[in-house]
């Protein structure tokens, strides 16, 4: 078991145990891009919200989602408020018996939440009979967990490197297309072509998906409808609610309540 402090260094690959759980309360964290060579990772936060960026995609992890990260998958974890960070590392050979080698965002039900919490506070020792039994339930639940599809492919063109970093760290928000053209010096048609090629979406479609992800983060962090609407430059609270309902099928309040 490890209860980590904010600035503690940790290298899961250096530990021989088959399963390693860690827990920490952190704030304003940026892991930087990294990977784990011989460990798969399950990443989860029972409170707070994390943003995870891979080489070409971005995911938002509110308390009802977890991310399965295979070994050798380059990723970066960011969050800006207090997060109850939970991470479980599995030897890759062991993990491959239960999970394929692909990134997955899975829904976390109440049972999985409690099991993950318990694993994160286990001692780093050989597994006893009770722990092995609990792991059997864990893998059964993982197999049945619905996969979430809310992900965002990130542009990689060098002309957008600086501003994409700002969007990743949430120090700025994607502007309207004409404003982005002015800021980057690229013409609107070029921006549209690049985004379509690299993300599969037009810039405007991509911007809307970014705003949706960011709105979930802000709501989970306790911001009101009015605050989220203002931060993300919606014309009104009702315009934000309609936007959110269009993309998720629920109002912001309904979305949060049904996932509690």
For residue 99, name the pLDDT band (cuts at 50, 70, 90).
very high
The predicted model gives 207-236 an average pLDDT of 96
For residue 178, name the pLDDT band (cuts at 50, 70, 90).
very high
Q: What gap in Å lies between CA 116 and CA 97, rounded to an integer?
A: 19
Question: Which alpha helices (DSSP H) does the chain contain, by range?
Answer: 92-95, 110-120, 129-144, 161-169, 177-184, 188-199, 203-220, 225-231, 237-248, 252-258
The predicted model gives 162-175 an average pLDDT of 94
The predicted model gives 192-199 an average pLDDT of 96
How wide is the angle at C-alpha 56 spanned by C-alphas 104 and 201, nearest 5°? 100
Neighbours of 65 (CB within 10 A): 22
- 231-to-164, 203, 224, 240 alpha-carbon distances in Å: 18, 20, 11, 11
pTM of the model: 0.89
3-class state of residue 26 by DSSP: strand
3-class state of residue 175 by DSSP: coil
Q: Which of 19, 246, 36 is nearest to 139 (CA)?
A: 19
């Amino acid at each position: 078991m490890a209860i980590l402090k904010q600035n503690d260094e940790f290298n899961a690959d250096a530990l021989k145990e088959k399963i390693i759980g860690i827990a920490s309360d952190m704030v304003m964290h940026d892991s930087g891009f990294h990977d784990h060579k011989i460990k798969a990772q399950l990443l989860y936060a029972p409170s707070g919200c994390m943003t995870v960026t891979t080489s070409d995609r971005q995911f938002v992890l509110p308390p009802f989602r977890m991310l399965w990260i295979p070994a050798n998958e380059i990723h970066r974890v960011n969050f800006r408020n207090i997060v109850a960070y939970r991470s479980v590392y599995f030897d890759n050979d062991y993990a491959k018996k239960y999970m394929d080698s692909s990134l997955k965002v899975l829904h976390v039900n109440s049972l999985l939440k409690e099991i993950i919490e318990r694993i994160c506070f286990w001692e780093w020792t050989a597994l006893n009979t009770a722990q092995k039994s609990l792991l059997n339930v864990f893998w059964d639940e993982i197999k049945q967990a619905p996969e979430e599809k809310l992900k965002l492919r990130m542009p990689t063109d060098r002309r957008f490197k600086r501003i994409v970093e700002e969007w990743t760290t949430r120090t700025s928000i994607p502007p309207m297309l004409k404003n982005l053209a002015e800021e980057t010096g690229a013409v609107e048609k070029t921006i549209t072509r690049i985004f379509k090629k690299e993300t599969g979406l037009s810039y405007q479609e991509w911007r809307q998906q970014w705003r949706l992800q960011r709105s979930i983060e802000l709501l989970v962090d306790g911001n009101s409808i009015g605050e989220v609407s203002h931060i993300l430059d919606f014309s009104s609270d009702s315009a934000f609610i309609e936007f959110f309902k269009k993309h998720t099928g629920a109002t912001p309040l309904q979305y949060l309540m049904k996932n509690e």
